């Protein structure tokens, strides 16, 4: 079972590095253009993987409506996240995004009426304190940190991803998750690329600097196509629970690249905030799963 772990680990590292790659490309293109170019590079690879695996789009009429709704949500998610990265660091992004499992738990409780444990409630409180440390950088004496629009936009994407996850949960169980991923991304790419046809100066993409080109190739091929492929392959062998533990590596992978490459700072309150967020999510999931196993055995 070593190969599935390697695939999941690589997917998580790739996803953590996408925040850094996005920061590299953003000075030269708009958020819409970055997303469109990422689709243009990554979707053909994903479609080739589907063809090689002989997977088909066998959505029911109801599933198609869910996929279209998921496509609208994921488009908003990407655009909000890319815009947020214009105003905050890749490091902060990686740590704030890690709160997503708690947001999913809360949304599942509110929408799907799934149970939420007292440990998850406590974890949400602890994670909130951690996010405040990240956003304020420890400066609680003034309210200037409330205008940290980038951090708040990134926090909003934890919620958009939670909405997407909850909305597409059933169809992802009924169909192969990779076909759902591609089915969601296809309408989004048509809309975004169609918009770019009428609004973008495509000639400027031919004059991007080398580092931006490399970052775009990474975002499209490794971050989008290969990352999702590796993740689905790993999850199919390990199971969602064990694969999910690797998600805690994402903010670490982001920070490990962002600090030396982008020369981002990593101060005391960034460390404290990150530890609180990551620790809260980890303990909530571990304690909740242990209680569930104990009840099943009882």
Quickly list DSSP for 251-285. Answer: HHHHHHHHHHHS-----HHHHHHHHHHHHHHHHHH
Asked whether residue 26 carries a pLDDT value surpassing 70, the answer given is: yes
58 phi/psi in degrees, rounded to 5? -110, 55
* pLDDT at 200 (0 to 100): 95
Place of tokens 């243009």: 40
Confidence of residue 64 (pLDDT cuts 50, 70, 90): very high
Asked whether residue 287 carries a pLDDT value surpassing 70, the answer given is: no
Structure letter (DSSP) for residue 147: G
Contact 32, 205 (CB under 8 A): no
Q: Which domain holds residue 59?
A: 2-297
Mean pLDDT over 117-124 rounds to 72
Nearest-CA neighbor of 178 among 118, 110, 229? 229
Q: Which residue has the higher pLDDT, 181 or 103?
A: 181
Count structural domains, the chain: 1
pLDDT digits (tens, 9 = 90+) for 125-180: 776 777 767 666 666 555 454 557 888 899 899 889 888 888 887 888 788 889 99
* pLDDT at 147 (0 to 100): 55
pLDDT digits (tens, 9 = 90+) for 186-236: 999 999 999 999 999 999 999 999 999 999 999 999 999 999 999 888 887
Q: CA 293 to CA 25: how far, in whole Å?
A: 45
What angle do helix axes 2-25 and 90-97 make, rounded to 10 degrees? 140
pTM for the whole structure:
0.84
CA distance between the termini of the chain: 30
The pLDDT mean for the chain works out to 83
Mean pLDDT over 253-280 rounds to 80
pLDDT digits (tens, 9 = 90+) for 83-101: 999 998 898 888 788 777 7
* pLDDT at 103 (0 to 100): 78
* pLDDT at 114 (0 to 100): 67
Q: CA 87 to CA 72: how far, in whole Å?
A: 24
* pLDDT at 75 (0 to 100): 95
Asked whether residue 295 carries a pLDDT value surpassing 50, the answer given is: no
Mean pLDDT over 69-92 rounds to 93
* pLDDT at 136 (0 to 100): 67
């Amino acid at each position: 079972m070593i190969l599935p772990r390697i695939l999941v680990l690589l997917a998580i590292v790739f996803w953590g590095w996408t925040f850094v790659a996005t920061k590299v490309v953003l000075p030269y293109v708009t958020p819409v253009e970055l997303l469109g170019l990422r689709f243009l590079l990554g979707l053909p690879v994903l479609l080739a993987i589907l063809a090689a695996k002989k997977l088909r789009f066998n959505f029911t009429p109801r599933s198609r409506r869910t996929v279209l709704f998921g496509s609208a949500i994921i488009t908003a998610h990407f655009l909000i996240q890319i815009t947020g990265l214009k105003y905050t660091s890749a490091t902060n992004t990686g740590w704030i995004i890690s709160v997503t499992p708690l947001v999913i738990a809360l949304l599942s409780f509110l929408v799907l009426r799934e149970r939420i444990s007292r440990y998850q409630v406590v974890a949400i409180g602890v994670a909130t304190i951690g996010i405040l440390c990240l956003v304020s950088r420890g400066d609680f004496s003034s309210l200037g940190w409330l205008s940290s629009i980038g951090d708040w936009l990134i926090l909003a994407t934890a919620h958009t991803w939670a909405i997407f996850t909850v909305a597409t949960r059933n169809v992802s169980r009924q169909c192969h998750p990779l076909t759902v991923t591609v089915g969601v991304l296809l309408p989004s790419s048509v809309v975004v690329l169609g918009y770019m046809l009428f609004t973008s100066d495509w000639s400027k993409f031919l004059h991007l600097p080398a580092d931006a080109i490399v970052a775009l190739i990474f975002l499209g091929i490794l971050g989008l196509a290969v990352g999702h492929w590796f993740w689905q392959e790993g999850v199919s062998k390990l199971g969602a629970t064990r694969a999910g533990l690797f998600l805690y590596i994402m903010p670490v992978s982001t920070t490990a690249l962002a600090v030396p490459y982008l020369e981002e700072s990593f101060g005391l309150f960034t460390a404290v905030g990150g530890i609180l967020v990551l620790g809260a999510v980890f303990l909530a999931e571990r304690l909740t799963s242990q209680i569930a196993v104990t009840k099943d055995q009882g």
